[in-house]
């Protein structure tokens, strides 16, 4: 167990901290979300997620979205999801299409996952489309005989070039069989902006 925790802490030190130290300016953000999911068959799951994000040192709303979704388990280690965001941004209303595939592997308390996501966004007020490709690699460790699972992740965003990367460090806590709470610190490194984001991200996951 201690070996697993040390590996996670080493990842945080080697990957996340250098980005924080060398950034020029920072913004403090708070994101909070509620996710509801229900299995409707052995392989099909439906759900909805709602999230509010603040920025400018938590003084303004950056966006609020509602995300209906449908998941299908192709194989025990592979899931496909179709989801759409109806997002009220500080700059206007957006619609995001977010198809994705997640590959997973479990071994000795470790949960490894790789998510491939396409993000297609219709934006107001210019009535234009934008596209991003996102890859998220995550490692989670299930501490034996406890409801606590620390995790780390990295997620680069690519368009015609890499535009930003999110570095995650957090902990998931299983409160009941149907409720878990995910608390994360996310460092969002913008490559074409002077200001990077320090994010506190709180998510309530409910299994119906």
SS3 18: helix
Q: Are 187 and 20 in contact (CB under 8 A)?
A: yes
Spatial distance between the Cα atoms of 136 and 156, rounded to a whole number of angstroms: 7
pLDDT of residue 57: 86
Average pLDDT, the chain: 89
Sign, CA dihedral 174-167-138-53, equals: positive
SS3 156: strand
Better-scored residue on pLDDT, 203 or 28? 203
* pLDDT band at residue 10 using 50, 70 and 90 as cut-offs: low
pLDDT of residue 6: 53
Which range of 87-91, 130-134, 158-162 scores highest in mean pLDDT? It is 130-134
Average pLDDT over residues 156-175: 94
Q: Which residues contact 85 (CB under 8 A, 6 or more apart)?
A: 65, 66, 67, 94, 95, 96, 98
Q: Are 113 and 137 in contact (CB under 8 A)?
A: yes
Average pLDDT over residues 143-150: 93
Q: Is the pLDDT of residue 66 over 80?
A: yes
pLDDT of residue 13: 47
pLDDT of residue 3: 54
pTM: 0.85
Spatial distance between the Cα atoms of 181 and 130, rounded to a whole number of angstroms: 32
pLDDT of residue 105: 97
């Amino acid at each position: 167990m201690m070996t697993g925790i040390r590996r996670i802490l080493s990842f945080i030190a080697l990957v996340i901290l250098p980005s924080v130290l060398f950034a020029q300016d920072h913004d403090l953000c708070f994101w909070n979300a509620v996710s509801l999911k229900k299995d409707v068959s052995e392989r099909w799951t439906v759900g909805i997620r709602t999230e509010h994000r603040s920025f400018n040192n938590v003084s303004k709303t950056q966006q609020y979205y509602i995300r209906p979704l449908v998941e299908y388990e192709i194989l025990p280690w592979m899931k496909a999801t179709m989801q759409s965001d109806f997002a009220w941004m500080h700059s206007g209303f957006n619609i995001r299409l977010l198809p994705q595939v997640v590959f997973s592997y479990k071994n000795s308390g470790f949960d490894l996952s790789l998510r491939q996501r396409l993000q297609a966004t219709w934006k107001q007020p210019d009535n234009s489309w934008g596209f991003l490709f996102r890859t998220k690699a995550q490692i989670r460790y299930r501490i034996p005989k406890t409801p606590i699972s620390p995790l780390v992740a990295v997620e680069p965003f690519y368009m015609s070039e890499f535009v930003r990367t999110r570095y995650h460090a957090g902990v998931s806590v299983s409160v009941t069989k149907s409720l878990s709470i995910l608390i994360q610190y996310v460092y969002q490194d913008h490559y074409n902006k002077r200001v990077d984001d320090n994010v506190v991200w709180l998510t309530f996951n409910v299994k119906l």
